[in-house]
A and B are shown apart, each in its own frame.
Chain A
Amino acid sequence: MTTVGTELLLDARDISKRYGAVVALRSASLAVRPGEVHALMGANGAGKSTLVKILSGGVRADGGTISVRGRPYGAHSPAEARRGGVVSVYQEPALIPDLDVRSNLRLTATAVEPVRHWLAELGLPDLDVSSMVRDLPLASLRVIDLARALAIEPDVLMLDEITAALPANLTERVLEVVARHRGTERSIIFISHRLIEIGVVCDRATVLREGATVGVVDVGAGSDDRIVRLMLGEISRRAPAVAAGPAGAGARTPETAPRLTARGLSAATRLRDVSFDLYPGEVLGLVALEGQGQDELFDILAGSERPAGGELLVDGAHVSFHHPADAIRAGLVYVPADRAEALLMQRSVRENIALPFSGPVGAWGLINVRGERRKVDAAVRTLQIDTRAAAEVRRLSGGNQQKVTIARWVAGGVRTMLCFDPTRGIDIGTKQQIYQLLRELAAAGAAVLLYTSELKEIQLACDRAIVVFNGRVVAEIPALEADEPTLLRAAYDLKPDEAIPELAVGETA
């Protein structure tokens, strides 16, 4: 059956995809052999999720070729992908909340018995298939979704962060089942941020960076280090762009009072116990792998959600936010990563920047056009926003859009700015401008909290960094020492002195 020509089970070559002006994939290739567990790796925005969507029929590629078992493959929908032998398990389970499990299986034409078998294998032997999906915890849903996909017995099974949201005992069973696929006729594409899992279950790893495949690594001794290096690209070895960065922290005297103090903040999910002080004049970096509680932390700080526990102090006084307006009045302004969450896409740059001015009922009357224009123009100049397409924000580039969300707060004067991954998916030049701006804000006495998924930003923009893992602060690192390997180790909750085990093996070998 297996001839030399069709050795590959799945062969995707030079896949490209653009969304409007944004290039999601430039040239991604992925070659999966039969019977291997193949890791797909890449930092945020590297194009993993786009590639997964293309393979699973969610979106169409603009260019490139895909074949499965030597036959050309192009799916318009997940149903077609399944007929072509490719099944995906997504991060949000593809289960209908208002149907019971059995009906969900029927909807996807999957027999119950094999699913029961796999549920037992995966550690949920007692699951009642007549329970409503809505009533089941997320972890169970992910396992059910996986069991269903296994029962379908596809040629290629794609698992997107399958162990996220799973408790340790289930994670172990899932990894064991995944590993069992090695050496069979079928293959698994395994997407995960957890290097340790990759080392345990995967045979090879394809690494994406900036929309292109940058390398394929045989998983084994020392491979973690190579994978990380490929993911990061050429680590910029240049000194922090702003020399004043660490100096700013040094200028802080012991008697400086913190602008913002969090004590034992917790949320219903993920965020367990986070405490930190944020001082005026500093940019405090926050580093975490995806889903460690940072989203919940920022929601609480921005006034969108109420904490389940802990306390928050602004300038030493207790605060309790019921609405983002409360946070704004306390001087805490929020720049989200997702521009779609912050911008009025059909409105002009001016209206977007001036939006917070109109919030309070007292400002509902006639607008002082001249005063508004002065403030807006100043903010536009500060951020060097390209206003050629200012009539509708959605026509701006991603970088310019992000500048508008920041300009909104700069125009009103910033005391404390909370930035959640503000440079996600924007070009390098704009990134530099944003770091520069954050430094200038801090120099002018503002306090900035910056969560970033790009580790090198810490040294470029921050004075010090705290690392959050599993809902807790696990490390505080001064910017000078916060190089990427150090931060990455801390983010995986490995102590600085203890090397990643596999990595150590690789070095000695």
Chain B
Amino acid sequence: MTSVGTGTAERNPWLTRATWRRILRDQPLIPLSGLLIALVIVLQLVQPGIVTASWAGVIVRQAVPLAILAGCQTLAMLTGGIDLSVGAVASMAAFVMATLVNGQGPVVAVLAGLGVALAAGVVTGVGIGVFKVHPLIMTLGMSLVVLGLVAVYQLAMVLSGVVIPDPILWLGSETSFGFLPNSLFLFVPLSAVIVLGLRRSGYGRLLFAVGDNAIAARLAGVRIWQVLIVLYTLSALLAAIAGFLIAGLNKTASPALVESAVLPSVAAAVIGGTSILGGRGGFAGTIVGALILTLLTTLLTTLNMPEAMRQVLFGAIIVVVAAAYTRVTGEA
């Protein structure tokens, strides 16, 4: 156990369970990408000719908002938390934005959407970081508060219509060169920042540190409450961006726009190899996880499986994958 154990790997590079475990533990992207490709092949076999460039564009366009929401979960889960308020916050940001376009213009509307998300995020972060409320409870409670407030706001704004501004429509639902979803113009730089930030920024290091061992982080001089407030604020802002994209994709906004994406966002992060116990994971895996879930949904739709079956499968996959990760990472 002391040595890294390269010996066994050299002798029997592919067949040992230990090797597989090590790959799953250290390089989850490899098996995940394999799964992704397998799903594409299955889809092609089930419905020959379905896999085209424009089809890929559709898949990516659907996967991008989910990947961003799953990014919120990834960041929160790295610290050992979870953010179940992303659905409510994303819906709120999109709805506030869409209702203000007519009166205030698109720029103010977008800023207002980000602003309300920011406020919600700060409140969540203070509750978790300063008042030490469990993230699950805090974010559940915040989603109740946000949902209620948005419903009240909806009645107050009953006269102004819901308008999705053109740039958001362009980003959310249009493509360039016939197949390239425009959301990638936002998503690629955004994910580059997140992936790089997690690896190469001091703050990214602290997210891992807090989740791996909060006591050690504190003893090393990290003020954990600061990390958590910033974390849940960032998470809310990311959720708002995802909300805008979904509004652009659906060409409408409502107070319940994103609610159904909360569990898939957790699922994508878990499948992508981020541990809910904290300290382990990353955004690259999460993106693949979001793609896998989107493909799975498409596959089930292609097979005429009912929506319910998708729910059952999602739930089962989360348990199985989480159990697998727990097994391979549980041993030193």
Contacts and interface: CB of A to CB of B under 8 A. Distances in A.
A–B contact at 8 Å CB threshold (below): yes
B216 A342 contact: yes
Nearest to A327: B221
A351 B219 contact: no
B72 interface: no
B262 interface: no
A302 B201 CA distance: 26
Interface string A216-256: 00000000000000000000000000000000000000000
A358 B222 contact: yes
A397 interface: yes
Range class of the A interface residue count: 35 or more
Most chain A CB atoms below 10 A, which of B203, B205, B215:
B205
A228 B208 CA distance: 46
B215 A341 contact: yes
B166 interface: no
A323 B225 CA distance: 12
Contact of A323 (B206, B215, B223, B230): B223
B332 A344 contact: no
A23 to B, nearest CB: 12
A146 B123 CA distance: 49
Contacts of B221: 323-325, 328-329, 356, 359-360
Interface stretch (A271-279, A311-319, A365-373): A365-373
Contacts of A336: 219
Nearest to B278: A346
B134 interface: no
A358 B203 contact: yes
B201 A366 contact: yes
A355 B200 contact: no
A356 B220 contact: yes
Given A325-B221, A358-B222, A389-B4, A365 B332 contact: no
Contacts of B203: 358, 364-365
Nearest to A329: B221
B248 interface: no
A346 B280 contact: yes
B219 A358 contact: no
Interface in A285-304: 302, 304
Contacts of B209: 344, 347, 351, 355, 358
A408 B220 contact: yes
B56 interface: no
Contacts of A431: none
A66 interface: no
Contacts of A358: 202-203, 205-206, 209, 222
B259 interface: no
Contacts of B212: 344-347
B202 A365 contact: yes
Contacts, number: 105
Nearest to B216: A342
B263 interface: no
Given A20-B332, A355-B205, A358-B206, A344 B279 contact: yes
Interface string A348-365: 000100111111110111
Interface in B1-20: 1-4
Contacts of A365: 201-203
Interface string A372-400: 00000000000000001101001101000
Which of A21, A359, A360 has the most B CB atoms < 10 Å from its CB?
A359
B4 A324 contact: no
A343 interface: yes
B301 interface: no
A360 B221 CA distance: 8
Contacts of A340: 213
B41 to A, nearest CB: 33
Nearest to A354: B205
A397 B332 CA distance: 11
A391 B201 contact: no
Contacts of A343: 213, 216
A304 to B, nearest CB: 7
B277 to A, nearest CB: 10
Contact of B202 (A325, A364, A388, A397): A364
Nearest to A338: B215
A325 B2 contact: no
B226 interface: yes
B327 interface: no
A304 B216 contact: no
Contacts of A356: 220-221
Contacts of A394: 332
Contacts of B217: 344, 355
Nearest to A302: B219
Interface of B: 1-4, 26, 200-203, 205-206, 208-209, 212-213, 215-223, 226, 230, 279-280, 329, 332
Interface of A: 20-21, 302, 304, 323-325, 328-329, 334, 336, 340-347, 351, 354-361, 363-367, 369, 388-389, 391, 394-395, 397, 408
The 6 closest A-B pairs by CB, nearest first: A358-B202, A364-B203, A344-B212, A325-B221, A359-B221, A328-B221
25 contacts: A21-B2, A304-B219, A323-B221, A324-B221, A325-B222, A341-B216, A341-B219, A342-B216, A344-B208, A344-B209, A344-B212, A344-B216, A345-B213, A346-B280, A346-B329, A347-B208, A351-B205, A355-B205, A355-B217, A366-B200, A367-B201, A389-B3, A389-B4, A397-B2, A408-B220
Given A328-B220, A358-B209, 4 more contacts: A344-B216, A359-B222, A365-B202, A395-B332
